Amino acid sequence: MATLGFTFGTMGSGKSTQALQIHHNLRARGLHTILTTQLDRSEGRVSSRLGVSADAEIVESATDLFELVRQRVKTIGRVDAVICDEAQFYDPAQCEQLARVVDELGVDVYAFGLLTTFQGVMFPGSARLMELADHRTEIQVEARCWCGERATHNARFVDGHQVVSGQMVVVGDTGGPTQGEVTYDLLCRAHWMEGARAARGSQLELLDEDEAREGDHPDRSGPIEVDPERVPTPLHVTANTPGAST
Ligand SMILES: [Zn+2]
């Protein structure tokens, strides 16, 4: 019985390393695997910080993962497993395609990704995988906040200041206006929230304190990317609409 597994962890928790390990182990036994990543890693490779890498197929937002696997089964006769790196960036509809790969093609899927964005809410793809997966596993590594507590939250910094607004994905060479140096770090929840409050405070400094406090929590009715031009797509629309995974 094939299964859909979602393994999640913070940055630097070894998700890519584990994806590569599974890929290697199955291939070493003569099994046919497909390794996918997202266009973030534009060279079409999955590489781990420990120095291992392998060729991967790039998943773009238009990629139909069910069709990709079905065509591969047609071409080479069988596919035993699909291993997905950077699955947090997959579209919720693509996560549903992965579930169909399991159920209709009988192929195991191992998906790896971050759970939450630098804004402290789930990536849409990760949320859908949590909903659909047969197994959900958190990678536990002893990452520490600067204060010594266990680091559990991804934070984005621009010129050293934590931010909670901006594009979900920052692509290096977009040619857009320079917004300062973007870096990431892991924090404990308390320090993540402290930084997030400070960031929201500087956005809301014209409002009085009570109003600013109301803005403490992420606004789930809106888009994850804080971009007023962008129309929000509530997750449940994708989740409950038949044929959404076209
Ligand atoms: Zn801390």
- CA of residue 16 to ligand 1 center, whole Å: 25
User: Strand, helix or coil at 112?
Assistant: strand
CA distance 41 to 37: 7
Model pLDDT, residue 155: 94
Average confidence (pLDDT) over 139-156: 90
- CA of residue 6 to ligand 1 center, whole Å: 27
Binning pLDDT at 50, 70 and 90, where does residue 37 land?
confident
Q: Please tell me the class of the 4-141 domain.
A: alpha beta
Separate counts of helices (H) and strands (E) for the chain: 7, 11
Read off the pLDDT of residues 107-124 as tens digits, 9 standing for 90 and up.
999 999 999 999 999 999
Model pLDDT, residue 47: 74
- CA of residue 164 to ligand 1 center, whole Å: 17
- CA of residue 146 to ligand 1 center, whole Å: 6
| Mean of pLDDT over the chain | 80
pLDDT at 220 over 80: no
Q: E-strand spans in the chain?
A: 4-8, 33-38, 45-47, 53-55, 57-59, 81-84, 108-113, 135-138, 153-158, 161-163, 182-187
Burial class (CB in 10 A: 0-12, 13-18, 19+), 203: middle
**One-letter amino acid for residue 60 of the chain:** E
Read off the pLDDT of residues 12-22 as tens digits, 9 standing for 90 and up.
888 888 999 99
Catalytic residue among 57, 60, 86, 194: 86
pLDDT at 125 over 80: yes
Q: How far apart, in Å, do the first and last CA atoms of the chain sit? A: 25
Domain(s) labelled CATH 3.40.50.300 in the chain stretch across 4-141
CA distance 78 to 73: 5
Average confidence (pLDDT) over 200-216: 58
**How long, in residues, is the chain?**
246
Burial class (CB in 10 A: 0-12, 13-18, 19+), 185: buried
Indicate if 86 belongs to the active site: yes
- CA of residue 188 to ligand 1 center, whole Å: 4
Model pLDDT, residue 218: 57
